[in-house]
Each structure stands twice: as C-alpha cells, then as structure tokens.
Amino acid sequence: MAAVRVRQHQQHVQQPITPPSPQPTIIRRKKTNQKFEKTMLIILIGMIAVLSVLVLNKQAAIQTTSMDIQKIEAEADEIAKQNVDLTVRVSELSTYENIWKKAKELGLTQNEKNVKVVPGE
C-alpha cells in the first residue's frame, strides 16, 4: 500500500496546480429604448442647428442696422456742417453794409420820412 500512496503522491506532484481561470464578467445593460434615444439626439441636433441659424440671422440684422446708423450719423454730421456754414453766410450777408449795397443795386433809396421805428428790438 505504501507503493500505491507514493504513486498517488507522485501523480499529485506531477500535475501542476492551476488556479481556476476567471470567467469573463459579463456586464448586462438594461435594455433601453434605442429608437427613442436616437430620435431625441436627432431632435437635439436639429434644435441646435435651428438656433444657430437664428443667431446668425439676428447678428446679420444687427450688423445691417449698425451700418445704417453709421450712415445716418454721417449724414447728420454733414448737415450740421452745412447748417454752420449757412449760419455764417447769413450773418455775413445780414450786415448793414451788405443790405445797403444790395438795396442800391435794386434801385432803392432811403426815404427818411417813410422810416418807422419799432420799439422793443
């Protein structure tokens, strides 16, 4: 019997002890409604695209309005310059000497009897 035990012992020694191989862990996902997720993703992308177009449209409108404002301001500045020039010209032409010269050119004479003095000015 001792020989049988030695033989059994040798058989145990000859066979390498292999640890049990770990089985791959399978992660199970909950079943989700993939069609719903895809639909929601498409809707989200569509909304982002529409909002982007709206933002660009508003930016273009703002730019156009800004350019119109600049043109109007330039026109207002030009008109203000013209008003200043015309005011200076009116004050130059309103002098007594210029009025008297123009009156003589038109054949008018000064009649002292026909002059009326207006009080208050």
Rounded distance, CA 69 to CA 77, Å?
A: 12
> DSSP class of residue 29?
P
Per-residue model confidence (pLDDT) at position 115: 76
Per-residue model confidence (pLDDT) at position 108: 83
pLDDT tens digits for 18-45? 666 667 777 766 666 888 999 999 999 9
Report residue 3's pLDDT band, with 50, 70 and 90 as the boundaries. Answer: low
As a whole number of angstroms, the longest Cα–Cα distance in the chain is: 171
Q: Which residue has the higher pLDDT, 87 or 2?
A: 87
Per-residue model confidence (pLDDT) at position 114: 78
**Given a cut of 90, is residue 88 above it in pLDDT?**
yes
* Sign of CA pseudo-dihedral 40, 42, 48, 53: negative
Look up the pTM and report it.
Answer: 0.49
Helix ranges (DSSP H) in the chain: 2-14, 34-93, 96-105
